[in-house]
C-alpha cells in the first residue's frame, strides 16, 4: 500500500511545513542552464554541434530540469506510483523555464505524448496529458496523436534500442488531420532521454501537415548514449 504523504511536506527534502516542493529545493536543483534550442541538451551556444550537423525534426525544444537527483525520484512518484497531484507543481516548474510561456501562448494545441491503451490501463492516466492540462487546459490534446501497443518497456534501453522501438510507433487520427494543417503545436512529455521517441512523434506530426513543433519536457537526460 502506498504511504500517504501529508500535503505540507516537501517531496524532496521532507521539510515541514512546506509546499509540495519547497523554495529551497527549487532554488538548489531547478536553476536553468544554457541549452541547445533544438534538442535541450546542455550547450555553450543556442545550438549544439550535432543539431547543426543533423537538425532534429523539432523547431525548438525546452526543458525545466536535468534528469537525475532529485527529479528522477519525483518523476517516479508521479509516473509509476500514481502521485498525480505532483503534476501541478511539475507543470509550474515547466512554465517557469526560459521560453516556455511564449511557446505555450503561440501554440494552437499542446499535444501530449501518447501512451498505448495497455499502458494507460496499467497506470490509469497519461502523465504527459496530466502535465498538459495544467500548462494549457484549453489547448491540451490527448486524441490527435496516437500510439501503437508497446512491445517492451523503454526504461534502461540503449539509444539503438530506443530508435528501433520508436520507429513507426505513432499515427495521427485521420479525422483530425484537416484541422492540423499549418498548425503550430507543443509536443509534451515528462522525460526526454535520447530523443528517439519525441523525434519520431514529431516526424509523424510533420507528415500530417503540422508546420511548427516545439518539444517540451519536464526533464532532459544530460548525456545521450552514442
Reported as a single tens digit per residue, the pLDDT across 110-142 is 999 999 888 888 889 999 999 999 999 999 999
Residue 2, domain member (yes or no): no
Give me the pLDDT at residue 152, please: 53
Residue 154, domain member (yes or no): yes
Residue 105, domain member (yes or no): yes
| Mean pLDDT, the chain, whole residue set | 89
Given CA atoms 170, 176, 177, 180 in this order, what sign does their dihedral have?
negative
Per the structure, the count of domains in the chain is 1
Residue 173 and residue 164: Cα distance in Å, rounded?
23
- What cell was used for 16? 515541514
pLDDT band at 156 (very low <50, low <70, confident <90, very high): low
| Pairing verdict, β 184-192 and 109-112 | parallel
Residue 6, domain member (yes or no): no
CATH assignment at residue 213: 3.40.50
Give me the pLDDT at residue 1, please: 43
* Residue among 145, 213, 144, 210 at smallest CA distance from 183: 210
pLDDT band at 89 (very low <50, low <70, confident <90, very high): very high
Residue 205, domain member (yes or no): yes
Give me the pLDDT at residue 161, please: 53
Residue 132, domain member (yes or no): yes
Q: Assign residue 224 a region: left if phi > 0, alpha if psi is -120 to 50, beta otherwise?
A: beta
Distant-in-sequence, close-in-space partners of 161: CB < 8 Å, separation ≥ 6? 154
- What cell was used for 12? 524532496
Residue 158 parent element (H or E): none
pLDDT at 42 over 50: yes
Give me the pLDDT at residue 187, please: 98
Q: What mean pLDDT comes out for the span 75-103?
A: 94
Residue 189 is part of which domain span?
Answer: 32-220
pLDDT at 160 over 80: no
Residue 26, domain member (yes or no): no
Burial annotation 141-157 (CB, 10 A radius, 16+ → b, else e):
bbebbbbeeeeeebeeb
Q: Which of residues 56 and 151 earns the better pLDDT score? A: 56
Instruction: Please check whether residue 151 is in contact with residue 165, taking contact to mean a CB–CB distance below 8 angstroms.
Output: yes
Q: What are phi and psi of 78, to 5 degrees?
A: -70, -50
Give me the pLDDT at residue 226, please: 42
> Which DSSP category does 120 fall into?
H
CB atoms near residue 211 (< 10 Å): 14
Residue 190 parent element (H or E): strand 184-192
Give the C-alpha distances (Å, rounded to integers) separating 91 from 104, 134, 217: 12, 6, 10
pLDDT at 82 over 80: yes
Give me the pLDDT at residue 19, please: 83
Q: What mean pLDDT comes out for the span 33-47?
A: 94
Residue 13, domain member (yes or no): no
pLDDT at 4 over 90: no
Alpha carbon dihedral 206, 208, 214, 217, in 10-degree steps, equals -110
Query: What pTM did the predictor assign?
Result: 0.88
Q: Assign residue 52 a region: left if phi > 0, alpha if psi is -120 to 50, beta otherwise?
A: alpha
Burial class (CB in 10 A: 0-12, 13-18, 19+), 129: buried
Amino acid at each position: 500500500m502506498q504511504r500517504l504523504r501529508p500535503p505540507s511536506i516537501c517531496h524532496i527534502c521532507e521539510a515541514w511545513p512546506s509546499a509540495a516542493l519547497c523554495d529551497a529545493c527549487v532554488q538548489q536543483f531547478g536553476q536553468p542552464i544554457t541549452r541547445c534550442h533544438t534538442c535541450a541538451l546542455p550547450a555553450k551556444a543556442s545550438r549544439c554541434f550535432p543539431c547543426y550537423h543533423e537538425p532534429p525534426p523539432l523547431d525548438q525544444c525546452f526543458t525545466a530540469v536535468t534528469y537525475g537527483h532529485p527529479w528522477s525520484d519525483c518523476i517516479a512518484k508521479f509516473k509509476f506510483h500514481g502521485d498525480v497531484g505532483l503534476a501541478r507543481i511539475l507543470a509550474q516548474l515547466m512554465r517557469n523555464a526560459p521560453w516556455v510561456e511564449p511557446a505555450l501562448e503561440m501554440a494552437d494545441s499542446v499535444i501530449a505524448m501518447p501512451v498505448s491503451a495497455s499502458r494507460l490501463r496499467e497506470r490509469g492516466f497519461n502523465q504527459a496529458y496530466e502535465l498538459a492540462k495544467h500548462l494549457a487546459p484549453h489547448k491540451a490534446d490527448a486524441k490527435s496523436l496516437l500510439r501503437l501497443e508497446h512491445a517492451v518497456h523503454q526504461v534502461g534501453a540503449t539509444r539503438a534500442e530506443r530508435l528501433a522501438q520508436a520507429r513507426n510507433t505513432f499515427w495521427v487520427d485521420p479525422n483530425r488531420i484537416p484541422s492540423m494543417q499549418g498548425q503550430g503545436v507543443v509536443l509534451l512529455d515528462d522525460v526526454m532521454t535520447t530523443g528517439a521517441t519525441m523525434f519520431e512523434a514529431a516526424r509523424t506530426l510533420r507528415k500530417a501537415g503540422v508546420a511548427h513543433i516545439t518539444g517540451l519536457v519536464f526533464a532532459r537526460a544530460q548525456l545521450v548514449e552514442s
